[in-house]
Structure formats: structure tokens, C-alpha cells
Structure 1
Amino acid sequence: MQEPICQVCKSGVEDAFHAFMECKVARKVWKYSYLASEMQGVVREDIPSVMQSLIKQMSMREVEFVAVVWWEIWHARNKLIFEGKRVNPMSLIAKAQAAVEAYQRVHGKEQTSKRSEDVSKQDQWCPPPVGFYKVNVDAAVHTEQQLTGLGVVIRNPQGQVIVAAVKSTKFQDNVTAAEAEAVKWGLEIALEARLAAVIIETDCIEVANLANSKTSSRKEIVWTISDIHSYKEKFQSLSIQHVPRCCNSCAHSLAKRALRSSETVTWKDNFPPDVLFCF
């Protein structure tokens, strides 16, 4: 028996994963979300399994946001299918964010108390082992201005920041490509600082997976991933790993700073007050 075809995009199997992640309505919505890169790396499987995977990778607030966006996507699909009405993706994301914030205001104190009892090292940034430096990288995107902000922060085994950097570039309409560019630039900054053994941390799981493999099927980032692979020969030791966003907050703050100022700057000391605040 032939499986039903999606009523919206007329392609793909009409199942929950397609509706929430693959359909043209869903893709447009996630494009405007701050979790765009994370959601692009989600592997196709049943939705409960997807949610279990996201719970392991994201903060609870991000998981709540995903659940609300899924509900909004489902509502938007029904509007389109049964009423012929299209919902603005940016408006949908704004509604989802407002819903999560309202929920947090009501239940925030209780959840904060519970989370504080369950905090583990996996929920916090951890210093690198002796002899290594940890390079946290991130990308932030402003779709309307077509800008990408890159942030890099390098810390030693004592947790001290030794280098911070920001850079703005043109957005190439692909969030994952921007995250890959952040990894590449972090490697360049580490080489400039003459570091021999580094651990790169990114909160984009797709880029981490591609950087640790030999090939990429994503044409828009294949050359960047190839450049990242070539850097492995320039370090005595290099590893690239995925971390939850809560462990990458400093690099994320710097990436957002790059968007605001449209600058490219590297600091090795005398960090400006607003950059110190990111740490």
C-alpha cells in the first residue's frame, strides 16, 4: 500500500517527522529560529525518539521551545490545508518564544530550584585537561541584514580566557555553513596564538559530526569542512566536539556582539568591559 503524500508540499511521506521537520512550512519556520543549526542536524526517526535525543543535547528551555514550535507548525499546517491561510514564519517563532517565556514566568521558580539540585558537569563549561586549550566557537545570524557574526573564546586549563575574537561576514543563507565557518575561524585563531593541542567545542551537532568524518554530502559546506580537516595536520593534537548551548554561552555572546558592531577584532589582553561581561 502506497504511503500518503504530504498535503502541503506534495512530496515526502505524510508523517509526524516530515510535518515538523522536512515540510516546506517547517523548514521556513526553523530557518528563523535561533535553534536552526541544531534542528538541521536532527536525524530522521519517530518524534518521541527525536525528543529524547534533544533532551540529551539541549537545555530544558530549548527543549520546551522546540515542543511549542512543533505545536505552532501543526497549527499553521492545519490553517493552510483547511482554510487556505498562510502563517508568517517569523510571527510563528515570535509566538512560540512568547509562550515559552510566559510559561517560564509561571513555573520558573519551581523549575530553577529543581534544576539547581540536578546540575552536573555536563551542564556546565569544563576546563580542558593539562596541556590543552579549549576553543569555543559559535555563529549568530541576522537574516534581515544578511549578516553572520562569529565568536571565538580560548581558555587554558585554569579556565582563564587567553584569547577572544569576533568577526562579521556575509550570511550565505545557510546556518550550518555559518557554524562550520565559526569552527574554521576558531582553528585559525588558535594557530595565530601558537597553540599546539586544542579542543574545539561547537553547539552545532551537524558540524561536529561532519568535522569528525572524511566527507560531507552538504555541497554548501563541503569546502569549509575540507579546510577544517586540513587543519588537523597543523596541530599536535586536535579534537572537535559537540556541546549543549549552555556550555557554549561565551562564544554565543561574542557572536551576537559581532552582529551588533559588524567588526573583526582579536583580543589577547585588555579585554573591553562588554567582552569581559561575556565571560
Structure 2
Amino acid sequence: MCPRCGVERETLVHALRECPSARAVLRYGGLNQKLFEGTYDRCVDWIEDAARVMDKKAMSDFISTLWNIWSSRNSKVFRNIEEDANVTWDMAAALNRDFRIFNLLDRPMIPKPVVERDWQKPESGVIKINFDATIHENTGWYGLVARDTDGFVLGGRVGMSNNVSSIEWAEMHAMEVSINYARSKNWKCVAIESDCASIVNRFNSSKEDLTLMGHQLKEIRKFTVGFNFFTVKWVPRCCNRVADALSNWANLNKSCMDFNMDFPTEIHDIVLNDAIK
């Protein structure tokens, strides 16, 4: 039972998001109201959704705030001290300022790794499918694009899924559509990429997942049996720009369709930029 509200069983997502004490801090700090919508079984899924709508500075502040919410929870548990929301927020704000001052004055001890920032062409004989999804008013909109080793577009699809409770469910549906799209084309060597880390990790995990989503992913894996080569890989959003643009285009135009090389003109420049890298 939650030691602060005493209403629900304490989980990490409850302690940092659902508990009234935690929500008071987040609302005091002006957190985007969209991040209070929907339900989450895992805290990491909520944080991942937050990362989709925040820039780096806001995300850094958000993580510091969560750390201070957990610290205030420990004060209640171990010292029986209940901090006001403004106190917890002020501590988080002070911590953020200190970090920024330190980062300005001191060079990092560990250099940042060099990361590829462009879409990478697949190996010869492999078809690469990138997919992405967005959500609007409980409707998921997805986009997928298939390209060959030269970066040429072989085809793709945009569409929708109804009654979607979270972006993760929308992404999972887009993954299923991508796999079935490859099967319909009779492609035997397929590499699939997505910027949704949680779905990719859960799909590739060998651990048993007893959740409803875990059961659905288990069913989706069965569709991959007929491939000679098949992988699902996470990539940063900058390497998934075409699929991202397609899902947003589908949402904006409320469009469901397949295309071959006659893809929407709105993504032409992004496709060309990926192909010439």
C-alpha cells in the first residue's frame, strides 16, 4: 500500500505519477497536461512518452523532478516528514540550476560517443522497413516505408487503429502491420527499425511477459517464422524521419492507403536525403 496516500498498491509508476502527492508536485511545476492522460503499467513507458514531447532541457528538468519526488517519498517513509509540493519542486529546481552551472564550468570526464545520425542503408538483398506511429484522440496513425540497399522506396502504407490507449499500443500495431506488409510482398530478408525502444526491447526479449501486451507481442512473433532473415532494431528518431513524417501525414490528412514508388510528395526531400547519404 502506498505510504503517502494509502489508497493503492505502491508501484514505481504510482509513486512518481499517480499518487496525489506526486501529482501535486508535477502540476506545481507546470507539467504538460497530456502526460497525465492514459494509464501505464510500467514507469519507463510513461517516461518514454514524455521524452517524445519534451526537448532535452525540459526532459532533464523532468527527471530531476522525479528524483526529488522519490526523495520526498523516502522522507515520508523513513522520517515521517511530508513535504509540501512547492518544497519538493523548489529542491528540484535548485538541483537543475546546480547541474547547469557545473556543466558550464567543467568539461565532461567521459567524451560523448559518436552516434550515427542518418538512416543507414540495409545490406545487399535485405529490405529495410521503418515504421512509426502517433496518437490523436484515442486513434493511432501509423506510417511505414520499405527501402532497398540503394535507398530506393519499394512501397509503404499509412493507416489507423481505433481505440488506442497509449502510444505503445499504436507502435505495436504499426510493427504488426509492417511484418504483415513484408509477408504480403513475399520478401524473405527483412530488417525492421523503430524509434520506440520499449516495443523493440519487449519484442526481442527472451523473458516471459505475462501482460496483455506481452501476449500480443508473442502472437506477432509467430508471423516472422517464414523469413530467411529477420531483425527488429531500435534507432534514434533522426534515423526514422521518413516513417515519422508518414505517420504525421496520415494523422493530418486522415489517410489510409498503400503506395509503391508514388509516395506522398511531402516526404520526397527526406527520402532523397536518406538515399544520398
Tell me the equivalent position of 2:118.
124
1:189-245 residue CA offsets vs partner (Å, 9 max, x unmatched): 1122221101111111221122123543321x2443123211221211111111122
1:137 partner letter: F
SS in 1 for 2:151: coil
2:130 partner letter: N
Change (3 A) 1:74 1:204: same
How is 1:1-279 mapped onto 2 (pairs within 5 angstroms)? Answer: 5-7=3-5, 11-12=9-10, 19-20=15-16, 23=19, 32-33=34-35, 42=44, 62-70=55-63, 82=84, 120-142=114-136, 145-214=137-206, 215-219=208-212, 221-279=213-271
Question: How far off its partner does 1:255 sit?
Answer: 1.0
Change (3 A) 1:131 1:75: same
Contact kept in structure 2, 1:165 and 1:265, CA below 8 Å:
yes
Give the distance between the partners of 1:22 and 1:217, measured in 2 at CA.
23
1:262 partner letter: K
Question: How far off its partner does 1:182 sit?
Answer: 0.8
Contact kept in structure 2, 1:179 and 1:207, CA below 8 Å:
yes
TM-score under structure 1 normalisation? 0.64
- Unmatched segments (≥5 aa) in structure 1: 44-49, 85-117
Contact kept in structure 2, 1:135 and 1:199, CA below 8 Å:
yes
Please tell me the root mean square deviation across aligned C-alpha atoms, in Å: 4.3
Greater Cα radius of gyration, structure 1 or 2: 2
Give the distance between the partners of 1:261 and 1:233, measured in 2 at CA.
35
- Unmatched segments (≥5 aa) in structure 2: 73-82, 87-111, 272-277
- Identity in percent: 20
**Corresponding residue pairs, total:** 225
TM-score under structure 2 normalisation? 0.64
1:238-279 residue CA offsets vs partner (Å, 9 max, x unmatched): 111111222212111111111112221111122231242453
Give the distance between the partners of 2:191 and 2:232, measured in 1 at CA.
6
Tell me the equivalent position of 2:97.
none
Give the distance between the partners of 2:196 and 2:19, measured in 1 at CA.
21
Question: How far off its partner does 1:21 sit?
Answer: 5.8
Change (3 A) 1:70 1:199: same
